[in-house]
Each structure stands twice: as structure tokens, then as C-alpha cells.
Amino acid sequence: MATAEPLTDGTGPSSAWPAPPSRASLALGDLRQGCSSGWMWTALAMQDIRLRYRGSALGPFWLTISTLIMSVAMGGIYPHLFGTNAANYVPYLVTGLVLWQFVSTTIAEGCGTFVAMESVIHQTPMPFSVHAFRVVYRNLIVLAHNAILVPFGLLLFHVPVDARLLLAAPALLLLSLNAVWVSLFLGIVSARFRDVPPIVASFLQVVFFVTPVFWAPDALGRWKIFADLNPLFAAVDIVRAPLLGVPTQPWSWWVMLAATLLGGGGAFVFFARFRSRIAYWL
């Protein structure tokens, strides 16, 4: 004969409910699941590339051609304006334009991290971070297409290559990590405020001219420190300098490490705070 379970007064272990997970743990779990779903965001990024250039004979290489045309045009004029040697300036220009295109496009497309995927987010349950990884990987694919210009420029102008070239790989990895948190942060802000994408696009147009992409920071003279502390210049410099076989500017690595820690930490707090609202803002 079964015996009745003793009643409790609501204070015993049998009546205790597990504490709900915190926002930080949910955000961390989202990032962990998104990072481990590499097969998903790589496939989605490849699909984006195919759809974007569907019907095009050259595909992403159209961007490579436009970068080449800009490099030839600027490389024929700006050495005379800056009073520098074309053999030194053109490799600096080409690598700068290729890397700037990756940085600026990732920032601009980061604004649409969630807005562009509105239907997917509403219909398919998946970690939100997948969409940020998707944006960054898609632009890395385009960067790989544009990067074919770099070795040709180095060989054409006989740029010496040394052991510093090995630093380009960890520098690009650090750049990609920053691109992920930028995509998450701007994606959330743009989902809430739709005015952000055009503001960011206008901002990038201005920043291109005040960032040492096609001109050297030494041109600023005693104001050079403002260029050295520019995170966008640091992002370009830590990859460009090893490719050209020259040392990076003294502050570039420190600026990028600070941007990774402070920006990444702030973006994680922001993601944890507003992650649950993303779907409602779309």
C-alpha cells in the first residue's frame, strides 16, 4: 500500500526552484553556440556572396577591379602631390585601400547585422551571434579576393619581405575579433534606431580622409599622435606594416588591444542587456 508523501511548508528542498539564468550567462551561451556553429555562418556567408553577385561573370572580383582602378589612379597622382617615391607609396596605398575596404564595409554592414535578417530571426531559432559571425566572414571572403592585389604590388615594386610578415596573421585575427563586437553592437543599435546606418555611412566617408590610409601619419608633424591613437588607423597599420616589411607605429598594437578589451567588454554588456529585445525591435 502506497504511503502519502509528507507535505512541506514550502521551505524545504523539494519546493525550491532553480534560479533563472542571468542575462550575462544567456549572452555568453549565445556567443558560445554561435562560435561553435561555424558550419552555419560560413554556409550563410557563402550564400550571401552567391546571391549578391548572381548573374555576374566576375562576382566579387568586380570589387577587386574597382580597387585596382582606384590604386592606379591615385598611385599616378598622389606621389607627386606628397613629394614621395612611387615605388614606396603605391604598395602603401594598395594595402591600405584593401584593408580599409574590409574595415569600412564590415562597419557599414554591421549596422544591418539583425535588420537584414529580420525574416530569418522571426522564423528560425538560432543564436543571434551567428549573424555577426556571418557578416565578418562574408567580408573576409571579399578581403581574400581583394588581397590578390597585394602580392602583385609587392613584387612589382620590389618590396622586401622579412619575418615581420608572420605578424600579419595574428593581426588579421585581432581585426576580425573587433569586427565581431562592432557588428553585434551596431546591429543592436541599428535595430532600435533606424537612423544609425546612414549616420555611420556618412561618418565613414569623412573618416576615410582623416585616417592615414593613403597618406602617412608623419605628414601631421607634431600632431602625429592623433593619427597614432586613431583605432581605425591602428586596425590598418597592424596588418599593413608586416606586409610591407616595416615596423608598426609605436601605439598601433596597444590601441587595438585596448579596443578589443574595452570595446569587446562594453559590447558584451550591451548584448547581454538588450539581447532579448532584438526580435521585438525588428
How many domains are contained in the chain?
1
Helices of type H across 111-218 = 118-123, 129-146, 149-156, 168-192, 196-210
Please give the grid coordinates belonging to residue 143.
578581403
**Residue 240 domain flag:** yes
Is the Cα torsion angle 17, 22, 28, 30 positive or negative in sign? positive
Residue 11 lies in a domain: no
Note the pLDDT tens digit of each residue in 149-163.
888 878 877 777 777
In eight-state DSSP terms, residue 245 is: T
Angle, CA of 239, 240 and 245, to the nearest 5°? 105
pLDDT of 8 reads 52
Say how many residues make up the chain. 282
Q: What is the pLDDT of residue 10?
A: 52
Is residue 195's pLDDT more than 80? yes
pLDDT at 1: 47
Q: Does residue 191 belong to any structural domain of this protein?
A: yes
Q: Which of 245, 257, 226, 213 is nearest to 99 (CA)?
A: 213
In a domain, residue 16? The reply is: no
Is residue 194 assigned to a domain? yes
The answer to whether position 275 is within a domain reads yes
- pLDDT at 49 > cutoff 90: no
pLDDT at residue number 135: 94
| Each residue's pLDDT tens digit, 207-254 | 998 888 888 888 888 888 888 899 999 999 999 999 988 888 889 999
Nearest-angstrom CA–CA distance, 105 and 113: 12
Residue 70, Cβ neighbours under 10 Å: how many? 15
Domain assignment present for 219 = yes
Q: How confident is the model at residue 7 (pLDDT cuts 50, 70, 90)?
A: low
122 touches 28 (CB < 8 A): no
Residue 82: give the domain boundaries: 24-49+58-281
pTM of structure: 0.86
14 within a domain of the structure (yes/no): no
Least confident of 16-20, 63-67, 181-185: 16-20
